[in-house]
Amino acid sequence: MLPPTVIIILELKRRKGSARDKDLYEAVKQILSSMSGDISFSQFNKMLMTLELRGLIRVEPLKKNVRTVYLT
């Protein structure tokens, strides 16, 4: 089973480098559920923060409660 952070990166690559956070969360959750895993939105946000601190992604607010995630 791949770590969720790797799944986030691969999903962003599949989507040509950008996605809205909720769409990305749903895709990652679906992939993990097919591999008998699960992730909460809180855990997903923590992973986004970790990836952003490592310089692998960039998260920008688009509107209120809507963020765009970019692969760097």
What are the tens digits of pLDDT across the range 26-45?
A: 999 999 999 998 999 999 99
Which parts of the chain sit beneath pLDDT 50? none
Give residue 44's pLDDT: 97
Q: How far, in Å, CA of 64 to CA of 49, rounded?
A: 18
Over the range 14-43, which residues count as b (16 or more CB within 10 Å of their CB) and which as e? eeeeebebeebbebbbebbeeeeeebeeee
Which domains does the chain possess? Answer: 4-71 (1.10.10.10)
How much is the pTM? Answer: 0.93
Q: What is the DSSP letter of 56?
A: S
Give residue 2's pLDDT: 87
